[in-house]
Amino acid sequence: MRFRGLAAGVAGVLVIAVAAPAAAASVPLSDRIAREVLPAGDGWAAAGTGTTGGAAATPENVFHVTNRDELAAAVAGTTPAIIFVRGTIRGNADAAGAPLSCAQFADPAYSLDAFLAAYDPAVWGRVAPSGPLEEARVRSAANQSARVRVNVGSNKTIIGLGGARLNGVFLRLDGSSNVIIRNITHEDSRDCFPVWSPTDGETGNWNAAYDNIWIRNSQHVWVDHNTFTDADNPDSAQPLHFGRPYQVHDGQVDITNGSNYVTVSYNRFTNHDKTMLIGSTNTPGADVGALKVTLHHNEFDGSVQRAPRVRFGQVDVYNNLYRVPVTDPYEYSWGVGVQSAVYAENNYVALGAAVPPDAFVFDWGGTVLSERGTWVRAGRSLPRPASLLAAYNATHEPDIAPDAGWTPSLRAGPVLPAPAAALVVELCAGARRLAI
């Protein structure tokens, strides 16, 4: 499904809409865009004080960064700052920028072959690993974490110039406020030493530790016009160990631990397993009353699951484009979790011919979902209005009730009919779509 003809017409309208006034011509376009704040009313991150990022940065707090250590230094603290990312910054690299392999992070006492031999469930049983080899894995993981994790402080705008890329970088917002991340391709935030969890599910699972962006205990965050990809290291290429996929990726954008007032707009999420988790656990705690998140004008292309999966939050999902190809395994897109209240309006869904409509929604212990104005194209059929919630309820018990109990009021402009929204997403979503 491509929309090039109609998109060209939309482009002309958009160019007129964003044309800069003559009085601003003396200010470089990159500086003007970097100081943009979240528009009023643009999703939950516009609530209250809104989200301004580093717009108030003084000249000495405007940074151009080209490596991991420069990035980590520039985003630290709470002083308003604008951080321009140039070129490709690699997290799996030393202070001089030389690439570091998984073997170079590994503790001398660790090897994957030895780990697999020691903790095979047929030998070890279905209990969590312990002992010297597990301790060596933990030390190895700490070695990698010290390089790939970049802690982002408050009052920051991180924005890419041209084809800026963060490869293997784990941006961690923990207790941060007022952060904007725009126009960057985020690639392959891989974990060399994932945890083996033998009691996770019926047969156990490998669980990775690093997201591309993790928003934890943070508020007023705008993630806009980025591209997320596993690049040349996709989940589908990982081996099986203990009969389970060796999962080296976690989320692309995860929002947990009481985070609040987040807008995720005009991003592309591509060919990934666990795309977006909203909510920490099923146990009531900091997430209750928080996790107010808006997702609009994003493209979810080849997401296996979690697009998003929600617990507790009031999450507004509107005008997004979903491409669900014939993948094995495709699990679901909208995960309705414990006490979640998702309001999904005017989304466009292109389903692969072998994907049944009732697979799009999955019940993770939730009870309600509002759905309005969905259009579905199944295989090569013509797109048409359809209810994916009704498709789920027709084949599952108990039903998910069709009223989430709230109506969103923070929206960026008019909500487009789903086919028109798909055209706009096709044209405008992702990195390198800002004129910077």
Q: Which burial class, exposed, middle or buried, applies to 226 when counting CB atoms under 10 A from its CB (0-12, 13-18, 19+)? A: buried
CA distance 37 to 1: 33
Residues paired with 343 in a beta bridge: 316, 370
Active-site residue (options: 306, 309, 311, 377): 306
Judge whether 393 and 323 are in contact, CB under 8 Å: no
Residue 32's contacts (CB-CB under 8 Å, 6 or more residues apart) are 20, 24
User: Cis peptide before 329, with omega less than 30 degrees from 0?
Assistant: yes
Q: What is the 3-state secondary structure (H, E, C) of the chain?
A: CCCHHHHHHHHHHHHHHHCCCHHHCCCCHHHHHHCCCCCCCCCHHHCCCCCCCCCCCCHHHEEEECCHHHHHHHCCCCCCEEEEECCEEECCECCCCCECCHHHHCCCCCCHHHHHHHHCHHHHCCCCCCCHHHHHHHHHHHHHHHHHEEECCCCEEEEECCCCEEECCEEEEECCEEEEEECCEEECCCCCCCEEECCCCCCCEEECCCCCEEEECCEEEEEECCEEECCCCCHHHCCEECCEECCCCCCCEEEECCCEEEEEECCEEECCCECCEECCCCCCCCCCCCCCEEEECCEEECCCECCCEECCCEEEEECCEEEECCCCCCCCCEEEECCCEEEEECCEEEECCCCCHHHCEEEEECCEEEEECCEEEECCCCCEECCHHHHHHHHCCCCCECCCCCCCCCCCCCCCCHHHHHHHHHHHCCCCCCCC
Q: Does the annotation mark 306 as catalytic?
A: yes
Catalytic residues: 306
